[in-house]
Chains A and B, each alone.
Chain A
Amino acid sequence: MFENDEMILETKHVTRKFPASNNRTLVACDDINLKLYKGKTLGLVGESGCGKSTFMRFLVALDKPTEGKILYRGKDITKMKGEELRQNRQHIQMVFQDPSGSFNPKMKIRDIICEPLMNFRKIKAGEKDAVARKYLEMVDLPGEFANRYPHNMSGGQRQRVAIARAIALEPEIIVMDEATCALDVSVQKTIIELIVGLQKKKNIAIGFIAHDLGLIQSFAHQIAVMYLGNIVEILPGEDIGECAKHPYTQALIHSIFDVKMDFTKQIECAEGEVPSPLDVPVGCPFQDRCEACMEICSREKPQLIPLTEEHLVACHRY
């Protein structure tokens, strides 16, 4: 996919197992192979507990996979240590779901934005004010906000500051973990517009976690759908509505409430709940909730197979 674009990060067979009680293991991510391209957005969708945040945390080296490699420009970041790892953090930055939780409440916005730059000795203390203003203006906030504290700002403004802090080091990759889901729809829209604008200007690769397919399709180039630790479908962002094949992706699409939908129609939705990740069924992880479940689904786990060059699906029907 995206032959013309440079691939910057690749994960190979990434698996993460957590030990659980009674000698069981919880497989949070199972054999995940994804690629991030320069200037492109990868959207990762799925229900809570499916392992999407666990996976994205590997990219910023907040956690390490049990097996597999994560290659950033050919180098395995899971093997990095000490100073090399610290230097590598400049290239991959993160924006969290709740910006107030990721700021020190006693620091002024100026110090929050400049802290990563100070850590890497990119600027001197005297330049802080000018630099903070520059980045605040980049995220469409007035420069005077540099003197404020996080609690003096609204949720949307705080999220803009979090984005300003993430871009301050001019990273190549930004990971956003549900960066807009705590915000009002109107604010969410402006934040998405800001992210897309910055991506175009600076050619950043974005890994975006969301559970709202309607939101993610508005700006992702590539969408990966995750269920119980497995990637079940990878497809291009533009036509998810028409070409989604996996029954789980379709269930997600059917459960979107849209102001343009037919209100007289019963909303369809996948029955039941996600089974506990501690006892993932043998075979296809989605078999219990799938309407098209066949005999083979309970025996053999479907592998991701390409339907077209850009569209992969893990389902026995294809």
Chain B
Amino acid sequence: MLEIRDVTISYHGMPTVTDFSLSLEQGQIFSLVGESGSGKTTVIRAVLGLLAGGGKVTKGDILFEGNSLLGNTSEQWRALRGRDISMIFQDSGAMMNPTKRIGSVFVEYIRTHEKNISKKEAWNKGIMMLERMRLANGDNIMRSYPFQLSGGMRQRVGIALAMTYQPKLLLADEPTSALDVTTQAQIVRQMMELRDEYGTSIIMVTHNLGVAAYMSDYIVVMKDGKIEDEGNRDVMIMEPDNSYTKSLLAAVPSLGGVRYV
């Protein structure tokens, strides 16, 4: 479904990610793990054409359902983004306009993608999506500002927005790292249900190896802009070959694990 072929991404001529390849099928969950600055976010931003500040794909190609994404016009991007490919950010609160209520963001989003839908219908569709994401009291949330919601609720709103059109591909950039452990567990469970219900493929960027191991079918370990190691989840976690992967796994704190005192 999505194929990234030998992609090199540069910021102002400096290659940040080199020779990155990945191929994803419908319903699969991939994780990109690695330390900060290893280029994980750059890769998924490139898929959605959202490279920040002068970033460019200088080599290779990104194919979504057989069509290259790199030559897309802004019209084509607009049709694709938020419909076939959606993204969840680390803090969905920061993504939303702080001076607008959730409802007005939601209605604007729906009416951008569906031209002949009334405001009322869009509002109700928003509430329905929120309730699917287990946010009871949808009407109340639609009337709230982002800052009035807790981090976990904001993240659920972000997922509800992203899932409105049941995208084929969901890109998630550290979706749980700003959350408490209990909320993180709830969000992880919901993201896995998305795959089961809608067959959504997910590429997740995370530095939490525990979450990556639990959720994904396939794990890609990145280091300094290159793929350091990759493989099926069970192989990567149970019997890793690569010394860098091993050291990352050993650093994950676990209950009943290493004690220093």
Residues of B within 8 A of A (CB): 35-36, 150-153, 180-186, 188-189, 207-211, 213-214, 233, 237, 247-261
List residues of A (233-259) whose CB comes within 8 Å of B's CBs. 237-238, 240-241, 251-259
Q: Establish whether residues A212 and B255, one from each chain, have CB atoms under 8 Å apart when the complex forms.
A: no
Given A214-B254, A252-B181, A259-B254: A48 and B259 interface contact (C-beta under 8 Å):
no
Q: Mark A37-59, 1 if CB is under 8 A from B, else 0.
A: 00001000001100000000000
Q: Establish whether residues B251 and A257, one from each chain, have CB atoms under 8 Å apart when the complex forms.
A: no
Contact of B261 among A41, A267, A268 (CB under 8 A): A41
- Chain B interface mostly helix, strand, loop or mixed? helix
What residues of A have a CB within 8 angstroms of the CB of B183 in the complex?
A: 47, 273
The 6 tightest CB contacts between A and B, nearest first, are: A257-B210, A269-B185, A255-B185, A214-B253, A189-B251, A215-B253
Q: How far is the CB of B207 from chain A (nearest CB, A)?
A: 6
Q: Mark A201-244, 1 if CB is under 8 A from B, else 0.
A: 00000000001111101111100000000000000011011000
Contact of A263 among B150, B207, B214, B259 (CB under 8 A): B214
Q: Of the 9-residue stretches A10-18, A62-70, A109-117, A180-188, which lies at the interface with chain B?
A: A180-188
Q: Establish whether residues B251 and A221, one from each chain, have CB atoms under 8 Å apart when the complex forms.
A: no
Please give me the residue from chain A that is nearest to B181 by CB atom. A255
List residues of A (264-279) whose CB comes within 8 Å of B's CBs. 266-271, 273-274
What are 28 A-B interface contacts by the 8 Å CB criterion? Answer: A47-B180, A47-B183, A184-B35, A185-B207, A185-B252, A187-B35, A189-B250, A193-B260, A196-B261, A213-B255, A214-B252, A218-B253, A237-B259, A238-B259, A241-B256, A251-B182, A256-B181, A258-B210, A259-B210, A259-B213, A259-B254, A260-B254, A260-B257, A261-B210, A267-B188, A269-B186, A270-B182, A273-B183
Q: Mark A158-200, 1 if CB is under 8 A from B, else 0.
A: 0000000000000000000000000011111100110010000
Q: Establish whether residues B188 and A257, one from each chain, have CB atoms under 8 Å apart when the complex forms.
A: yes
Please give me the residue from chain A that is nearest to B136 by CB atom. A272
Q: How far is the CB of B246 from chain A (nearest CB, A)?
A: 11
Q: How far is the CB of B90 from chain A (nearest CB, A)?
A: 13
Q: How far is the CB of A265 from chain B (nearest CB, A)?
A: 9
Residues of A within 8 A of B (CB): 41, 47-48, 155, 184-189, 192-193, 196, 211-215, 217-221, 237-238, 240-241, 251-261, 263, 266-271, 273-274
Total of A-B residue pairs, C-beta within 8 Å = 120
What residues of A have a CB within 8 angstroms of the CB of B249 in the complex?
A: 259
What residues of B have a CB within 8 angstroms of the CB of A241 in the complex?
A: 255-256
Q: Establish whether residues A185 and B209, one from each chain, have CB atoms under 8 Å apart when the complex forms.
A: yes
CA distance A266 to B248 in the complex (A): 24
CA distance A256 to B176 in the complex (A): 13
Given A256-B210, A267-B214, A269-B186: A214 and B180 interface contact (C-beta under 8 Å):
no
Please give me the residue from chain B that is nearest to A50 by CB atom. B180
What residues of B have a CB within 8 angstroms of the CB of A251 in the complex?
A: 182
Q: How far is the CB of B239 from chain A (nearest CB, A)?
A: 12
Contact of B255 among A187, A193, A253, A266 (CB under 8 A): A253
CA distance A217 to B256 in the complex (A): 8
Q: How far is the CB of B249 from chain A (nearest CB, A)?
A: 6
What residues of A have a CB within 8 angstroms of the CB of B185 in the complex?
A: 254-255, 257, 267-269
CA distance A263 to B211 in the complex (A): 10
CA distance A193 to B163 in the complex (A): 42
Q: Establish whether residues B261 and A221, one from each chain, have CB atoms under 8 Å apart when the complex forms.
A: yes
Given A269-B182, A269-B189: A185 and B248 interface contact (C-beta under 8 Å):
yes
Please give me the residue from chain B that is nearest to A265 by CB atom. B214
Q: How far is the CB of B193 from chain A (nearest CB, A)?
A: 11
Q: How far is the CB of B229 from chain A (nearest CB, A)?
A: 14
